Amino acid sequence: MNETSAPGPAVSSDNTPIRTELPSNRYTDRELSWLAFNQRVLELAEDPNLPVLERANYLAIFASNLDEFFMVRVAGLKRRILTGLAVPTNVGRAPHDVLADISKKAHELQERHANAYQELVGPALAQAGVHVVTWDSLDQADKDILYQYYSQHIYPILMPLAVDPAHPFPYISGLSLNLSIRIQNTKTGKEEFARLKVPQMMPRLVRVDKRETLDYVRYIALEDLIANHLDRLFPGMKVLNHHIFRVTRNEDVAIEEDETENLIQALEKELLRRRFGPPIRLEVSGDMDEETLNLLVREFDITEQEVYVLPSPLDLRALFEVQKIDRPELHFPKHIPTTNVWLKPSSNNERPDIFKVISRRDILVHHPYESFTTSVQEFLEQAADDPDVLAIKQTLYRTSGDSPIVAALIKAAESGKQVLAMVEIKARFDEEANISWARKLEKAGVHVVYGIVGLKTHCKLVHVIREEKGVLRHYSHIGTGNYNPKTSRIYEDLGLLTASETVGKDLTKLFNVLSGYAIEKKYKRLLVAPLHMRNGLLGRIEAEAAAARAGHPSGIKIKINSIVDETIIDALYRASNDGVPVDVWVRGTCGIRAGQPGYSENIRVRSILGRYLEHSRIFAFHNGGDEDVLIGSADMMHRNLDRRIEALVKLVAPEHITQVQEMFALAFSDTIASWALETDGTWTRNHVDSKGAPLGDLQDVQMALAHSRRRTGNR
């Protein structure tokens, strides 16, 4: 833990701080900060030292991230402006001005993104034998092969739609790729307009010749293949030109829970409405003529700043397909998760009795370095099988379609156990999947609840009650990430497995809040939002500030996905002003201005991006030398602190606290690659040393540490 014994600012005679007014420009705009995060993703794609298929993956991630940003953040801001509900942003700027700033930065980033593909990643892929080619570059033999594929697999499902007085402009679904086509009647000479949707269920990139080896492979974009066979769709007509376009719509979901008795039905209706949300961005190929562009702008009723003119191909999410190529030398070296040292099988490869192991000690698992399958999933599967287990309670925010977690809950219910699943069906963009699983769970006899009206349930909890020698014992898991075996392999998360009676009683209270009408105000080892978390964290921050003012060692370390809550940020500013060293490790949006004279001189902010998505949330306080460390599900955002059920759990095992300290030491080390937030609000990537050699990769080091613990048995 970073410590200081330096005196803080001036204090009054009773040792209370003399507070200076914090400046009005002390926050960064959250939307622009998010765009800065996505720029960091793009910088990874631009890095020639990274494997080329990983660079292609980062381009696809950037595109996917930006789509969601428009569908949710930009859409929400525009909706508030149109309804007259918009208020000045967290930096005091008018929403119209912020929208203009977002548009300017988004245009810059999308152009940079396209150039990164055209000039950097595309050529590097070709050099490695992976080619995305155009129709015109192919010889006749290749064209014949593709024509057969087109005729058999694509042509029968295409649906050209005419636009004329008898056929109004068709509805264009969000994020679909489309061709605008101008055709001419060869008999009358009259020109017409048509729209053709590129089928979304087909591979976006088509292999030119499947006989090619993976060392030399060529793809053609599906829209390019379709565009060069338009004559078959319009017999008797002359195709004059065609262009590619794509529209993004408002796809945020908003429902008033207190106005409906059936949340699932209300959400299903809202998901249907989502398909018809208003357009908020139009992407068009750079060769589109002015007449066609004007038609689209008029029909979509959008402004000039919402039009993005880009080189083909549009929608570089297609590169997710390229990233799947089995060329190990073009990927990051493979990481294989290890089993946590306390959960490893016996010498004859038998699974350990997980309840016996947990009853002896708390276990902190770190994914994906340590396996989710042999820890959390094993915990639930053994609970489902164990005849001594009487009840299982779990929160489900996001999970995979073939989830073994859900299967374990169903198995437990079918065997007669009491099973409660708190399914958050309002998890953005996972609503339909969660509705499906909720119904499947209900049919199996699981008690399914949907939480508290007006609040999302975001906490990650499992509570197992087991009878042992006539006494009920509590076994619990509290995590920072979702119960999703698939994302557990690419999301960095922490989880605590414990048989603590204190934690078990806390979870009993919390699940009663989630499933019933209880209003619980007291927890011992948990910090729960929305009632307690904000004040609990503010109290801890102030305690560090008081220590610094008294000349005692102090320190605050936070690892977070996003931090924009003004009250928390102001508390950190004041603690910094009192002499507390504050380290913030943030992945995404950051409202803090670091290193500012008079209020944030003692705040350092770092960001680390890599093959795994940094997802764990950690709050660590020096606490007079008795380290106070909590992990859990909450980011420092208004929604997490005020409109969600979140939970942090206190770590008590010295080795777990040491492990967290080592994580922070690595993240802020000069030998590890990271981005630093500068005083001017920009992010500087530090990834090479003074001699130009690459700095260490935090995630590689963490994987090596996990394997080292397993090999040496260092627990």
Are 18 and 545 a contacting pair, CB within 8 Å? no
List of residues 6+ apart from 371 with CB closer than 8 A: 337, 338, 339, 340
pLDDT number for residue 4: 42
Quick one: DSSP state of residue 515? Answer: H
Q: Order of strands across the sheet with 279-285?
A: 161-163, 191-197, 177-185, 237-249, 279-285, 307-310
Quick one: DSSP state of residue 134? Answer: -
List of residues 6+ apart from 85 with CB closer than 8 A: none
Q: Which CATH number fits domain 527-712: 3.30.870.10, 2.60.40.150, 3.20.20.140, 3.40.47.10?
A: 3.30.870.10
> In the chain, what percentage of residues exceed pLDDT 90?
69
DSSP state string for 687-711: -B-TTSPBPBPHHHHHHHHHHHHHH
Task: Give per-residue pLDDT as tens, 579-602.
Answer: 999 999 999 999 999 999 999 999
* Residue 27 confidence class, pLDDT cut points 50, 70, 90: very high
Closest CA to 280 of 38, 37, 427, 80: 80
Taking each helix axis as running N to C, give the angle between helix 431-443 and helix 404-414, from 0 to 180 degrees, rounded to the nearest 10: 20
pLDDT number for residue 620: 98
Task: Show the tokens assigned to 136.
Answer: 């015109």
Task: Determine the Cα–Cα distance for residues 418 and 600; give it in Å rounded to an integer.
Answer: 51
pLDDT number for residue 171: 85
Task: Determine the Cα–Cα distance for residues 160 and 580; give it in Å rounded to an integer.
Answer: 65
Task: Determine the Cα–Cα distance for residues 522 and 508; give it in Å rounded to an integer.
Answer: 12
State the average pLDDT over residues 142-168: 88
Taking each helix axis as running N to C, give the angle between helix 95-115 and helix 30-45, from 0 to 180 degrees, rounded to the nearest 10: 0
What is the C-alpha end-to-end distance of the chain, expressed in Å? 21
List, in sequence order, every residue forming a beta bridge with 191; answer none if it has no partner: 184
DSSP SS3 for 551: coil
pLDDT number for residue 252: 59
Closest CA to 175 of 265, 298, 270, 64: 64
Flag whether pLDDT at 115 surpasses 70: yes
Taking each helix axis as running N to C, give the angle between helix 95-115 and helix 52-68, from 0 to 180 degrees, rounded to the nearest 10: 160
List of residues 6+ apart from 696 with CB closer than 8 A: 669, 671, 672, 673
State the average pLDDT over residues 540-550: 97
Task: Determine the Cα–Cα distance for residues 115 and 73; give it in Å rounded to an integer.
Answer: 25
Task: Show the tokens assigned to 371.
Answer: 């396996």
* Residue 394 confidence class, pLDDT cut points 50, 70, 90: very high
CA-to-CA dists, residue 642 to 129, 313, 430, 646, angstroms? 52, 42, 22, 10
Closest CA to 413 of 378, 367, 379, 448: 448
List, in sequence order, every residue forming a beta bridge with 697; answer none if it has no partner: none
Task: Determine the Cα–Cα distance for residues 36 and 590; give it in Å rounded to an integer.
Answer: 9
Instruction: Pick the range with the lowest mean pLDDT from 472-486, 515-529, 530-544.
Output: 515-529
| One fold for 341-520 and 527-712 | yes
Residue recorded with tokens 């940020």: 569
Q: Which CATH number fits domain 341-520: 3.40.50.10860, 3.40.640.10, 3.30.870.10, 3.30.420.40?
A: 3.30.870.10
Task: Determine the Cα–Cα distance for residues 289 and 561; give it in Å rounded to an integer.
Answer: 42
Task: Show the tokens assigned to 332.
Answer: 């990051």
State the average pLDDT over residues 45-64: 96
CA-to-CA dists, residue 113 to 58, 60, 148, 512, angstroms? 10, 10, 34, 48
HSE (side-chain half, CA atoms, 13 Å) at 97: 9
DSSP state string for 287-334: T--HHHHHHHHHHHT--GGGEEEEPSSP-GGGHHHHHTS--GGGSPPP
Flag whether pLDDT at 315 surpasses 80: yes
Are 711 and 705 a contacting pair, CB within 8 Å? no
pLDDT number for residue 153: 95
Which DSSP helix (H) or strand (E) runs through 67? helix 52-68
Are 463 and 504 a contacting pair, CB within 8 Å? yes
* Residue 78 confidence class, pLDDT cut points 50, 70, 90: confident
* Residue 424 confidence class, pLDDT cut points 50, 70, 90: confident
* Burial label, 305 (beta-carbon count in 10 A; 0-12, 13-18, 19+): middle
pLDDT number for residue 425: 65
DSSP SS3 for 492: strand
Which DSSP helix (H) or strand (E) runs through 340? none
Task: Give per-residue pLDDT as tens, 703-715.
Answer: 999 988 765 555 5
pLDDT number for residue 253: 47
List, in sequence order, every residue forming a beta bridge with 388; answer none if it has no partner: none
pLDDT number for residue 191: 86
Task: Show the tokens assigned to 641.
Answer: 């602190």
- Number of helices (H), then strands (E), belonging to the chain: the values are 20, 27
List of residues 6+ apart from 363 with CB closer than 8 A: 340, 342, 343, 357, 375, 496, 497, 498
Task: Give per-residue pLDDT as tens, 80-109.
Answer: 777 776 666 667 777 888 889 999 999 999
pLDDT number for residue 5: 39
Question: For the chain, what is the mean pLDDT?
Answer: 88
Count the neighbouring beta carbons within 10 Å of the beta carbon of residue 634: 29
Task: Determine the Cα–Cα distance for residues 370 and 364; give it in Å rounded to an integer.
Answer: 10
- Ranges of H-type helices in 444-551: 501-515, 533-549
CATH annotation of 52-330: 3.30.1840.10
Flag whether pLDDT at 436 surpasses 80: no
Which DSSP helix (H) or strand (E) runs through 440? helix 431-443
Task: Determine the Cα–Cα distance for residues 415 and 385; give it in Å rounded to an integer.
Answer: 8
Before 553, cis peptide (omega within 30)?
no
- Ranges of H-type helices in 516-653: 533-549, 566-577, 638-642
Catalytic residues: 458
Task: Give per-residue pLDDT as tens, 166-184.
Answer: 667 888 888 999 999 999 8
Task: Determine the Cα–Cα distance for residues 378 and 492; give it in Å rounded to an integer.
Answer: 19
Q: How far is CA 89 from the centre of its chain?
A: 23
Instruction: Pick the range with the lowest mean pLDDT from 429-443, 469-483, 619-633.
Output: 429-443
DSSP SS3 for 520: coil
In the chain, domain spans:
52-330, 341-520, 527-712
Task: Determine the Cα–Cα distance for residues 392 and 419; give it in Å rounded to an integer.
Answer: 5
Q: How far is CA 120 from the centre of its chain?
A: 26
State the average pLDDT over residues 680-706: 93
Are 164 and 192 a contacting pair, CB within 8 Å? yes
The more confident residue out of 250 and 409 is: 409
Task: Show the tokens assigned to 451.
Answer: 């939480």
List, in sequence order, every residue forming a beta bridge with 614; answer none if it has no partner: 492
Are 352 and 343 a contacting pair, CB within 8 Å? yes
Flag whether pLDDT at 638 surpasses 60: yes
Strand pairing report for 389-396 and 418-423: parallel
Q: How far is CA 276 from the centre of its chain?
A: 25
pLDDT number for residue 271: 45
